Structure 1
Amino acid sequence: MKATVSSWDSATTFFCTPLETMFRLSPNGQWLSYLHTDPDRHHIGLSRIDEHLNLEPQYDYPLRDDEYVLDVVWKTDEILIVTTMVCGAQHKQLHMIDITANRFTDLSGELAICELACMLPARPDEILTYDEDEQGLRVVSHLNLRTQERVTLLICQPDDTQLFFDWAGQLRLVLSASDSGYQIKKPIPQEGRFEVVGICPYDASFTPIFTDVDPDHDFFALTNIERDSLSLARVNIAQAMTIHWIETDADKDMTGITGVDPNGDIEGVVFATTPQQYHFFNADTDRLYQRIKARIGLPLCTMLAKSADGERFVFAGASDVQPEISYLYDATVDLLVVLGSAFPQLDPTTLATTQFYTVPSFDGLRIECYLTIPEVQTPRPLILFPHAGPWGHDRWGFNAIVQYFCAAGFAVLQMNFRGSTGSGRQFIQASIGHWEDDVQTDIEIALKHALQHDAIDSQHIHGFGISFGGYSVLMQLIRHAIPFTNAVIINAPSDMAYLLENMPKDWQPIQEAFYHLVHDPRIPTGQQALQQASPLHHCHRIHCPLMIVHSRQDRIVPVGQSETLAATMQAQNQSVTLHVIDDEGHEILKPQSLRRVMQQSLDFLLQPLLIQNS
């Protein structure tokens, strides 16, 4: 087998070339912000939009080469708030762009951690932030954007996992970890205390959405506390918490809302279907969305932004072979123009299509599978690529890692095993205490089903996984139900007891949730189960070459886990290679680092195939 392009050139194409994405409209619809990159860093660009939707570039703000842009939000028509992640340490930082002064300001100052808590839309010069003070405590601060003056409003308690504010900055709800789940607490300001109004079990979800500032009014929430699917509801907490469901036809989890209209109503919701499905409550908005989706001509269509007057919009379209393309639309003149593409250098006709199907697991649970196969005549070696999390999910659409491997001649299998989000609460519950067995059986069954495909070379099975995906690859190698040719794991845990007992400080409020959802190391049976679930203690069963990649600054899964695993395997004369990345954290964010890791991974996975062909 031969790669269609060199691993270095291909890695550059997929992970280190200029792109334009994250387009955002100013409230007045006259400005457009966007993220663009060069090989070394991210830039925030700003363009003025004329009456014909022509863009006039005005400003360009380069970020530091160790910063990765997470989000850009317009606060006013002149001010943007930029949230970044510092590579390596992976702490969030805030910046402000002031168009009138042409100024880019670091809002974090000397703080190691600074996150946006509330935008305060009614106060143009103020925001609320989550900061870490000198004692390492998490605090909520009031920040004046003009003077940079900070005033601490409250100190978060150790068990507080999330604080929820309304748009005026009032603290409305707090979620705190407890033995029985997340306590939902409302403040009683006149008494200086909090009252527990409900419990969200650890296998459920509860995200409030406040559209007004009256604490006595109902509010919206995305939750599945009293049902299987994550759904939209109206919630009242005047006395005991009561939930009134807003029914829709879809039977999948909701993944979010599309926005809130000027009247304080939810405009629409998004479902975790394949492909992703939108449901708008307003008929005019739904007709507009359907019309633009038809004009774009792509199965995935997202409304990304709109102006305050509802006249200008940013849409995005994509498919399994088409990376995201962003469009600007003006409803007053019915004009739609292309803004930019996430991967402008890729030709969709050369990419591999993704097949979606489901297979039954051992207990009848349906496992969603995504199989991407290059269009070639001979059977292709297969890469098993389980997702990270496990509380996340793969979805149908363009995936740069998948297409990178397909460009080299591999087929790629992804699946949503039990514990993945998007398929309901019972799907999550089926994974509790079963990371090492039932979850792995789902993956094994999906893999065996894919090997029946005529286009798959069943003699050459490879593994590739990141974080929990890497853990699952290790468990598949250990189970040895299917022989693997070789495998690559990245920032993967191998000692589960150590992982749960040594969480980073900012993860400790959710430590109790992990004890409930995985195994509890505080009790003997939990310790025994965690040992059974730890690849480190069973790595002698691995019979194929393994490449381990780990970031030295990983705070979630410390690099010592991979160093210990590699040393143990080397002492047993097993074939193992360890690569340590010095300047990255649990997520590999720098384009140069990602390119290097993916190139090393592809070279390693190709090696036995190239030797065989030679």
Structure 2
Amino acid sequence: MAISGLIPRKTLFGNPDKASPQISPNGEYITFLAPVDGILNIWLAKSTDPDSAIPITQDSDRGIRFYGWTYTNEHIAYIQDIGGDENWHVYVVNIHTHQTKDLTPYDGVQARFQEISPKFSNDLLLSLNDRDPQLHDIYKVNINTGNRTLVQENDGFAGYITDDDFNVRFATRVTEDGGSELLEKAGDSFWKPFIEIGIEDTLTTSPIGFDDTGTILYLVDSRDRDTAALVSLNLQNGDTTLIAESPHADVSDTMVDPNNKNIQAVAFTHERKTWIFLDENVKKDLEYLESISQGEIEIVSQSFNDEIWIVAFVLDDGPVRFYKYNRPEQQASFLFTNRDSLTDVNLSNMHSTTIKSRDNFDLISYYTLPSESSNDSGIPDSPCPTVLLVHGGPWHRDTWGYSALHQMLSNRGYAVLSVNFRGSTGFGKAFINAANLEWGRNMHNDLIDAVNWAIDSRIADPSKIAIMGGSYGGYATLIGLTATPNVFACGIDIVGPSNLLTLINSIPPYWQPQIELWASRVGDHRTEQGRKLLSERSPLNYINNINKPLLIGQGANDPRVNQAESDQIVDAMNENGIPVTYVLYPDEGHGFVKPENNLSFFAVAEAFLSKHLNGSYEPIDDDFEGASVTVPTGASEIPGLKEAL
């Protein structure tokens, strides 16, 4: 049912007012992302006068999402792809002339940042797969001219560890059993084994950088323990020192002095994020900042001398508030929020809880109640229509904080439940390894256990539960409708794979060096037994079990989950006379980046959920303006969709 008084979709899913603020290394300038004619670009101001900001880039297509300062203090580097193909180009813009230069003007090539160093202010260390699509070689690239010099040709490694001197120190590779190893460079073309990491520790053990001398290597390390701790390894004598650990969670974040590379604080995120402080001065700074504003504190940018910070205060029921903090003076000045319009609407709180799986794992979960049902008890007056929102990855996790999707669904009358099922990161290696070869089985059982918890807790109405997610969450949606079709009233799959065999056979070439990770954790497509398992876990092979409405969203240029993954299940459902609505974007990849496209998809999703769960919805109006949305099939299944097209 469509009613008035709803939070407009554009308020939740449109461009932010300002986002991603950064301080220049010398502290003289502040930058942030903000729209120019509806497209996110980089804006610049003197740090003493942030209100005087002007745009310095002229992107007119997808908008800039990721950028960072270089140590010239005159150039900013950012990445951009074409239509979501993830073949990233690295650009630099001069803050004085506003001239932009493509440092990697190569078609069909993916560029990655390898190292940015104050010792080479005019150069960047970039990795590119232009010689071999599977392997990224390392180049030193001059910011001013674009000239490049080969630093390391890739002989078959998954990646490299470099230092501030632009030296290649270590190489990483995945072993045949799904483990990994770190190899130390011992000559121009000779590598000697340095650290062996068993399969049980591969996703929870990795180097994260060096100290300023280059003789201490910092690692997140779960070997000989369950949760990943932060340790330092002395490369001269081999001594290992424990820096910080938690019995409940892996290292989730660190604060590092940009100048001397000392670790200042270490974070662990179980239900909520907590910090262990190693630097007493930093601890005092955080204690002061806690008095400034509500919310979880994030230090999002630091000047090179570490005297100026950009600080974010993150809430679950409001916009992010950004401050500039002068450490010597212990003075914080408000900059802006990311979305001013959120201060004028009624948003819901996100609750955290721990749900027990049937085999006794702790499933750290987050839920939001319908706005009219929110109360201090965390339980609504009566069970609600509910959306199970499944994260992607699957080697990723949900966290507490503001979620536009949670807020929209809550505002429309739904409870929303996000579950860290086994395989989610951050909770120790036993939890992540319990997902090995369990796609569509115990990983899905965790989701069902969470649904049953929500029903037993009188949060969810068992007759009105939807499952929704992107990437792995899209796969989970398809599994939900094929393996447990009577649990869910409907499903929304966004860029989810339908056939695990075709998924693995079509991965991007630059994922090939990590194929053993996929083989050991998802299924081995090269063996008869592995192919049988992958086939058994593929929703495409069970489409006749689908008896509930399905909405599918896909980007045509997705390099991770190809369009064919959605095409083949849509075609099979059409052949079998099973209703499905398919929304396809010709200029998107793995997810919908353009605000117009994102807005249009959630307009469709909102109407779809309203039809099948009877929640409120904002009718599709001008939401398709500027969007590339196409609906190859099923437009008549959703209220207002056919007319909007």
What TM-score bracket applies, with the shorter chain setting the length? over 0.9
Q: 383, 392, 395: which one pairs with 2:396?
A: 392
Alpha carbons of 1:537 and 1:3: their partners in 2 closer, same or farther (altered >3 Å)? Answer: farther
CA–CA separation in structure 1 for the residues paired with 2:369 and 2:464: 14
Q: 1:155, 1:460 → 2: CA distance?
A: 55
Cα shift at 1:547: 1.2
> Aligned residue for 1:317?
313
Q: In structure 2, do the counterparts of structure 1 residues 237 and 308 end up closer, same or farther at CA, with 3 Å as the change threshold?
A: closer
1:232-381 paired onto structure 2 within 5 Å: 232-236=230-234, 243-248=240-245, 251-260=248-257, 262-298=259-295, 300-347=296-343, 350-376=346-372, 379-381=383-385
Equivalent residue runs for 1:136-285 within 5 Å? 136=133, 138-158=136-156, 160-180=157-177, 181-189=179-187, 192-204=189-201, 205-212=204-211, 217-236=215-234, 243-248=240-245, 251-260=248-257, 262-285=259-282
Name which of structure 1's ranges 439-448 and 249-258 shifts more when overlaid on structure 2. Answer: 249-258
Q: 1:83 to 1:201 in 2, by over 3 A?
A: farther
Contact kept? 1:549, 1:578, Cα under 8 Å:
yes
Cα distance per residue 1:4-62 (max 9 Å; x no partner): 557xx833221124421111111222210111125632110000023xx6543255323
Aligned to 2:13: 15
Matched residues in 2 for 1:101 and 1:579: separation? 42
Q: CA deviation at 1:481?
A: 6.7
**TM value normalised by structure 1:** 0.93
**1:124 is matched with which residue: 121, 124, 129?**
121
| Counterpart AA for 1:329 | Y
- Aligned-pair CA distance for 1:164: 0.9
Partner amino acid for 1:127?
L
2:52 is aligned with 1:56? yes
**Residue 550 of structure 1, CA deviation:** 1.3
Alignment of 1:207-606 (within 5 A): 207-212=206-211, 217-236=215-234, 243-248=240-245, 251-260=248-257, 262-298=259-295, 300-347=296-343, 350-376=346-372, 379-480=383-484, 482-606=486-610
**CA distance 1:594–1:512, shift in 2 (3 Å):** same
SS at match of 1:226: coil
Conserved in 1, the CA contact under 8 Å of 2:256 and 2:264? Answer: yes
Uncovered stretches (5+) of structure 1, i.e. residues with no partner: none
Aligned mates of 2:119, 2:165 — CA distance in 1: 7
Structure 2 residue matching 1:519: 3-state secondary structure: coil
Distance in 2 separating the partners of 1:59 and 1:576? 43
Q: Distance in 1 between matches of 2:439 and 2:3?
A: 35
Aligned partner letter, 2:181: Q
Change (3 A) 1:163 1:20: same
In structure 2, how many angstroms separate the alpha carbons of the residues matched to 1:482 and 1:320?
A: 32
Distance 1:167 1:222, change over 3 A: same
Q: Secondary structure at the match of 1:148?
A: coil
Moved more, 206-215 or 370-379: 206-215
Following TM superposition, by how much is the alpha carbon of 1:248 offset from its aligned partner in structure 2, in angstroms? Answer: 4.1
Q: 1:76 to 1:4 in 2, by over 3 A?
A: farther
Partner amino acid, structure 2, of 1:414? S
- Give the counterpart letter for 2:189 in structure 1: G
Partner amino acid, structure 2, of 1:281 = L
**What's the CA shift for 1:126?**
1.2
| Cα 1:242–1:511 shift into 2, 3 Å | farther
Q: Is the 8 A contact 2:462 2:487 kept in 1?
A: no
Deviations 1:527-575 (A, max 9, x none): 2211111001112111101111111111211111211111212222212
Q: Hey, what does 1:105 align to over in structure 2?
A: 101
Partner SS state of residue 367, structure 2: strand
- For 2:271, the aligned partner's letter is T
Contact 1:2 1:610 in 2 (8 A): no
TM-score by length of 2: 0.88
Contact 2:29–2:47 (CA under 8 A) maintained in structure 1:
yes
Q: In 1, distance between residues paired with 2:482 and 2:37?
A: 39
Task: Name the CA shift for 1:60/1:214 in 2 (closer, same or farther; >3 Å).
Answer: closer
For residues 117 and 338 of structure 2, the distance between their equivalents in structure 1, rounded to whole angstroms, comes to 31
CA 348–453 in structure 1, closer or farther in 2 if over 3 Å, else same: farther
Quick one: distance in 1 between partners of 2:105 and 2:73?
Answer: 24
Superposed CA deviations along residues 589-613 of structure 1, whole A, max 9, x for unmatched, are 1111111111111111111345999
1:435 Cα deviation (Å)?
1.4
Amino acid at match of 1:99: I
Paired residues of 2:183 and 2:191 also in contact (CA < 8 A): yes
How many residues are matched?
605
Relative to 1, partners in 2 of residues 1:549 and 1:209: Cα closer, same or farther, differing over 3 Å?
closer
Cα distance in 1 between the residues matched to 2:38 and 2:616: 37
Cα offsets for 1:419-472 (capped at 9, x unmatched): 000100000111111111111111000011112344533321112111100111
Letter in 2 for 1:46: L
Deviation readout 1:131-172 (Å, 9 max, x if unpaired): 2325545321111112221122222133x1121101110001
Alpha-carbon distance in structure 1 between the residues aligned to 2:4 and 2:387: 17
- Asked if structure 1 preserves the Cα contact closer than 8 Å seen for 2:9 and 2:599, the reply is yes
Alignment gaps of 5+ in structure 2: 374-381, 618-638, 640-645
The residue type paired with residue 360 of structure 2 is G
Q: 1:17 to 1:3 in 2, by over 3 A?
A: farther
Change in 2 beyond 3 A, CA 1:612/1:279: closer
Given that residues 39 and 591 in structure 1 are in contact (C-alpha distance below 8 angstroms), is that contact kept between their aligned partners in structure 2? no
Greater mean deviation of Cα atoms: 270-279 or 588-597: 270-279
Given that 1:167 and 1:212 are in contact with CA atoms closer than 8 Å, whether structure 2 keeps it comes out as: no
What letter is aligned with 2:210?
A: T
Higher mean displacement: 392-401 or 14-23: 14-23
Q: How far off is 1:110 after superposition?
A: 3.3
